[in-house]
Amino acid sequence: MATDLTTDSTDRLLDGSDEINKYNFVTKTKGVFRARKGLDADIVTQISEMKDEPGWMRDYRLDALKIFESKPMPQWGGNIGINFQDIYYYLKPTEGQGRTWDDVPDEIKETFDKLGIPEAERKYLAGVKAQFESEVVYGSLEEDLSKQGVIFTDTDTAVREHSDLLREYFGQIISSSDNKFAALNSAVWSGGSFIYVPPGVKIEFPLQAYFRINAEQMGQFERTLIIVDEGAEVHYVEGCTAPMYSSESLHSAVVEIIVKKNARCRYTTIQNWANNIYNLVTKRAMAYENALMEWIDGNLGSGLTMKYPAVYMMEPGARGEILSIAFASQGQHQDAGAKVVHCAPHTKSRIISKSISKNGGRSSYRGLCKVEDGAVGSKSSVVCDALILDDKSRSDTYPYIEVEEQDVQVEHEASVSRIGEEQLFYLMSRGLTEAEASSMIVSGFIEPLIKELPMEYAIEMNRLIELQMEGSVG
Amino acid sequence: MSAYIPAAQESEIPDPGTLLVEVAERLIVLIHAAGHFYALDDVCTHDGGPLSDGPVAAEQGTLACPRHGAQFDLKTGAAKTMPATKATTCHEVKLENGTLFVRLNAE
Amino acid sequence: MTSTLTRTTTGFTQEAFDDFLATRNEPAWLTELRRNDWAHFLEYPMPSSRDEEWARTDIRPLKLNQFSLPMAPHSETYLSGAESGIDGKGTDVSGSPCLPQTVLAQGVDLGGRTSSLDGYPCASELSKQWAEQGVLFGSLDALVTEHGQRLRPYLERPVVDPTYDKFAALASACWCGGTLLYVPKGVRVEQPFHALSAMSAGPDAKGTDAKGTDAKGTDARGTDANGIDLSRTLVILEEGAEATLLSETASTRETGAGLHCGSTELLIGKGAMLRYVNLQNWNMDAWHFAHQRAVVRQQGTLQWTIGALGSRLAKVNQRVALIEPDAEAQVNGVMFTQGRQHLCYNTHQHHQAPSCHSDLLYKTALQDHSRTVWRGMIQVDPPAQRTNAYQRNDNLMLSRTARSDSIPGLEIEADDVRCTHGSTSGRVDNSQVFYAMSRGYTRQEAIRMIVAGFFQQVFDRISIESVRNALGTAIGQRVREL
Ligand code: FES
């Protein structure tokens, strides 16, 4: 089993010199197990056995595999040129999970050091998970939170240790038959976070998960389930990076969230995958009476992203807010968006989307606002703004608005424009170069979103945007 | 709309199985499961998928939408699983001398 | 073309098509075109909900073989009413007592008029003044026979793509009747033209009562067949020409099945200006499938107004292409639905050249169990810098059981653009109703006023008074007490 798994593909690493160098490095690792390339029932069974899972989960996976095989590729969105047989579906990087960073093998720890995770943890996080390839290699949670009954673990551990709680919700919000990539994830999922916040517990600092794909042609399929019990609050942050290889990799996650009565959940993503990664993710939350679900979704990396975080407002007074930023540069297609579904009276939603296309990039907003029969007194507002920075780039907007009720207020607005010349001249007349001026205007454009981020992430986000802007000015 | 309208022959629907019929210009899916007959609007409340193309789960008493897998209760039309959250309309069926009659629910 | 064939075949079979061709006295090149598109029609599948464009519009209840190709021109009595002349600004400009009342040309001084029933021409007139200046107007069939060589290029290179889908292929292969308007270079016609496409209605679909109509299941042709209208509209404005065309559709009875499958092509030359109004007012049992496309050249201007009131189910593709610099298009849509109507209108504003301007506004009010789908797209190609494009759709929900889907879209590949869209859905504001009632209006009057107010914004854009009045009246009559 222990073939030489040294990831040594530095020579094939593309020199993405123009874009975001900080993440473009490969760590030489000795993994402990790697399933052979390709996808079939044997691989799925093998993954399940490696994880020592109960029979129900193995059957769930095999069933999902069948659904995956029977579903056609989506005919909309981006071009998905994946050869599913040319991907490694499971790579176990270490034996067991570290409780302290010292337990984590040096080379992997080094990766996260470079990415600044341990430092962030010391400074402002209530808990951290770090996933490397298929498995979570490090996990921590502040002691008093675990004393209060908060669970923050990886989903594999949850299958073993919290199986009743997990089974109640797993796959209930996003079933295997929801779409082709949800089926794929359900068949081969590994890692991801499982969070339970007991009634009334408000977690002040964010819980963060960090996802790193290191190996070439690696698929990462984390599975996250968050349950925020009545009156509880949590903010979860995920960051994603990978080095740039010449061949493509796949990231396909499923994230399910339950926000019970009077609870709040905020889920922030800063996605900065390398440009050779297909990022095809299904994220959905159900919000109950007077609960608030917020998605803050920043998409800067990946070659193709298709991701539309959703909030189903199930009971009166539920609210959903989604802020989405997408930045597409050369070789990138960000097909991002948001979905809000009003299923109960007096529910409220708001979607704000800001997208930027530059240097041949394509960004698309694709979204849904649905008001179901019976959701009287519901209100929704959807605003999409797009900025196109040059004539090689493209911007699309596809909002779907479905109203089945009379007493509602639904508003949608979208506009696409370029950087105003007057604005540019004004700034340049004040001594800025054109690049600086554009960069400043772009910062102003996404400012409403940035200010929703905790300080540290706002700084990171701004820095990433600057890098994207510098990347190819000229 | 209170009349029973002949819709199909009993023998046309295997158990378990479905048959798409048109009753007074509405598309209705007739379902045969565990010896009983049911009738639902052939419209998935999630995104309009044709329920008549989906599989019947006789033990659970549900019909699943072929598009994203939402399951509907055969007796009531209630949405049992995501991504559907709303019931589809269900109609009354009766069997007389091998013929199935449907009485449309006005909605 | 007065031979009367009895129909031997129903449905759209090869045999029926051959019979149909035999009734047409057309040049070989045209027959060839028809055969080509017919082959596509046979080959293409019926659209299904698996096609994204049809996912919201279920046409499984449509049984094509309940309809047949139009093959029987009307008897003489039908055509005889057409003598009153266009100068008598009568109430009924259709020219025949057997045709439905027209509404768009009330009190309008017309430059010409034409009407058809089930695709066969009833009456056509063109005032001398315009005929002398080279204007062609009337039934497309008749004019193709007369001016075949002049019209050939337009039919050989159609503006609507006949290979788009099964309905486009059928419309192109089997068009029968319809309207041609051709205005030569520099001719400006102030008087509007009027066209009516009427369709007979089949036996009452529900079978039981004929709801007091006198025709009792016998259509205008004296048969009991379902109605059919495969009319085609072709408008050609040469450089600097100007014209207004008011076209409307109607059924001979309020109930009874019919099928319309047709196309509309508008060619607006350099600096030309067209105002085109199309009122779809079939009865509630009719199926309506239409492909419509306008092409506007340099500095050309189009004002296109659509009224969508009728039909059981409508699926319309309305496209505007601005293909040369500084072209301009304004699109107005007025939709009112009731009962179990399902109207699906797909609009497309295609900016292919720099400095063009397009502005679309669709207003929809929905009643009862009706459903509307409006899907709009603004597409801006890379060369179309300095584009200014706008689209907006507002829905007024008049009942709890109605449903509206709005899908505005933008696909932008140029950077120097201003493209905006907006959409709203909401109900009648109760406080406004109470206010009006406190001022002595009945509830229904109040609601009618509010509905009228909702449409005012689009009416304000329609520059032809008779059209505003006709749409306003039709909607007023339909609004029920909430
Ligand atoms: S359309 Fe039925 S589950 Fe989506």
Give Dmax (Cα) for chain A: 69
Instruction: Note whether B47 contacts C: Cβ–Cβ < 8 A.
Output: yes
The whole model's pTM is what?
0.87
Say whether both A297 and A446 belong to one domain.
no
Please report which confidence band the pLDDT of residue C481 belongs to, taking 50, 70 and 90 as the band edges: low
Task: Please give the distance, rounded to the nearest whole angstrom, from the Cα atom of residue B26 to the centre of ligand 1.
Answer: 19
Nearest residue to B103 via CA among B36, B47, B38, B11: B38
pLDDT band at A240 (very low <50, low <70, confident <90, very high): confident
Decide if A93 contacts A32 (C-beta within 8 A).
Answer: yes
Which tokens go with C103? 């509404």
Q: Which residues contact A106 (CB under 8 A, 6 or more apart)?
A: none
pLDDT score at A120: 80
* Chain A with chain B: Cβ pairs closer than 8 A: 34
User: Is A312 close to B85, i.e. CB distance below 8 A?
Assistant: yes
% chain A with pLDDT above 90:
53
Ligand 1 centre distance from Cα of residue A230 (Å)? 30
Residues C366, C337: Cα–Cα separation, whole Å? 5
Among the listed residues C116, C181, C118, C119, the one whose alpha carbon sits nearest the alpha carbon of residue C147: C181
Contacts of C56 in chain B (CB under 8 A): 48
Percentages (nearest 5) of helix, strand, coil residues in chain B = 5, 45, 50
> Hey, what amino acid is at C323?
I
> If you measure CA to CA, which chain C residue comes closest to B27?
C61
Two tokens, residue C39: 């082959």
Q: How far apart are CA C373 and CA C341, in angstroms?
A: 11
Q: What is the pLDDT of residues C18-40, one digit of tens each?
A: 999 998 889 999 999 999 999 99
How many angstroms away from the CA of A131 is the closest CA of chain B?
Answer: 29
Would you place residue C94 in the very low, low, confident or very high pLDDT band (cuts 50, 70, 90)?
Answer: very low
* Rounded Cα gap, residues C84 and C82, in angstroms: 6
Give the number of the atom of ligand 1 that is nearest the alpha carbon of residue A178.
Answer: 3
Per the rule left: phi > 0, alpha: psi between -120 and 50, beta: everything else, A58 is alpha
Instruction: Tell me the mean pLDDT in the region A428-450.
Output: 83
Give yes or no: residues A299 and A440 share one domain.
no
Q: How many domains does chain B have?
A: 1
A421, A450 in Cβ contact below 8 A?
no
Q: What is the pLDDT of residue C444?
A: 86
pLDDT of residue A214: 79
pLDDT digits (tens, 9 = 90+) for A339-373: 999 999 999 999 999 999 999 999 999 999 999 99
ipTM of the complex: 0.83
Contact C386, C353 (CB under 8 A): no
Q: What was the pLDDT predicted at A429? A: 86
**In the structure, what pLDDT confidence band is assigned to residue C308 with cuts at 50, 70 and 90?**
very high
Report the pLDDT value the prediction gives residue A66, as an integer from 0 to 100: 96
Answer whether residue A42 is part of any domain: yes
Strand, coil or helix: what is C366?
Answer: strand
Selection from A346, A342, A350, A408 nearest residue C395 by Cα: A408
Contacts (Cβ under 8 Å, ≥6 apart) of A265: A226, A228, A233, A234, A235, A236, A257, A259, A285, A291, A292, A293, A294
> Residue A96: exposed, middle, or buried by beta-carbon count in 10 A (0-12, 13-18, 19+)?
exposed
Query: B49: which chain C residues are within 8 Å (Cβ-Cβ)?
Result: 49
Q: Which residues of C175-191 are buried (b: 16+ CB within 10 A; e: fewer)?
A: bbbbbbbbbbeebebeb
Give residue C302's identity as a one-letter amino acid code: L
Q: Does residue C384 sit in helix, strand or coil?
A: coil
Residue-wise pLDDT tens digits, C266-305: 999 999 999 999 999 999 999 999 999 999 999 999 999 9
The confidence score (pLDDT) of residue C73 equals 60
pLDDT of residue C224: 62
Q: What is the pairing mode between strands A219-220 and A207-212?
A: unpaired
User: What single string gives the DSSP state of each residue in C339-361?
Assistant: TT-EEEEEEEEEE-STT-EEEEE
CB pairs under 8 A between A and C: 116
Q: Is A73 on the interface with C (CB under 8 A)?
A: no
From A261, A280, A307, the end of a domain falls on: A307
* pLDDT tens, position by position, A68-126: 999 998 888 888 888 899 889 998 888 778 888 888 888 888 878 877 788 888 777 88
Last residue of a domain, one of A287, A307, A327: A307
Q: Which SS3 state, helix, strand or coil, does residue C280 take?
A: strand
C58 C-alpha to center of ligand 1: Å? Answer: 15
pLDDT of residue A451: 81
**Rama region for C219: left / alpha / beta (φ>0; ψ in -120 to 50; rest):** beta
Q: Do B48 and C49 touch (CB under 8 A)?
A: yes
**CB-count exposure of residue A164 (10 Å: 0-12, 13-18, 19+):** exposed
- Cβ neighbors of A324 (< 8 A, separation 6 or more) are A295, A297, A298, A299, A309, A336, A337, A338, A351, A352, A353, A354, A355, A365, A449
pLDDT, average across residues A438-457? 81
Could you tell me the CATH number of the domain that includes residue B53?
2.102.10.10
Handedness of CA C20, C24, C29, C33 (dihedral sign): negative
> How far is the C-alpha of A152 from the C-alpha of A193, rounded, in Å?
7
pLDDT value for C10: 65
Task: Fill in the amino acid letter for A99.
Answer: R
Taking the alpha carbons at both ends of chain C, their separation in whole angstroms is 52
Q: Are B7 and B32 in contact (CB under 8 A)?
A: no
Domain count, chain A: 2
Q: B78 CA distance to ligand 1 centroid (A)?
A: 14
Please work out whether the CB of residue B70 comes within 6 Å of at least one atom of ligand 1: yes
B83 and C CB contact within 8 Å = no
Examine residue B83 and say whether the peptide bond preceding it is cis (omega within 30 degrees of 0): yes
**Full residue range of the structural domain in which residue A460 is found:** 435-474
Q: Give yes or no for a contact between C110 and C102, defined as CB atoms under 8 angstroms apart.
A: no
Is residue A20 predicted with pLDDT exceeding 60?
no
Q: Do the Cβ atoms of C368 and C402 come closer than 8 Å?
A: yes
Among the residue ranges A411-425, C254-268, C378-392, the one predicted with the least confidence is: A411-425
Cα(B78)–Cα(A164) distance, integer angstroms: 26
Distance from the alpha carbon of residue B69 to the mean position of ligand 1, in angstroms: 6
Which residue type does A127 have? G
Among the residues of C116-161, which ranges form H helices?
A: 128-132, 140-146, 148-156
Whether residue B4 contacts residue B67, with contact meaning beta carbons closer than 8 Å, is answered with: no
User: Tokens standing for A112?
Assistant: 């996260």
Mean pLDDT, residues C48-58: 89
What is the best residue among B42, B46, B72 to mutate for testing ligand 1's pocket, by most ligand atoms within 8 Å of CB? B46
Give Cα C410 to chain centroid, integer Å: 25
A179 closest CB neighbour out of B68, B85, B86: B68
Q: Ligand 1 atom closest to Cα of B84?
A: 3
CA angle C401, C404, C406 (to 5 degrees): 165
B16: domain range?
5-103
pLDDT > 90 in chain C, percent:
64
pLDDT of residue C75: 46
Q: Which of C281, C274, C220, C199 minimizes the C-alpha distance to C248?
A: C281
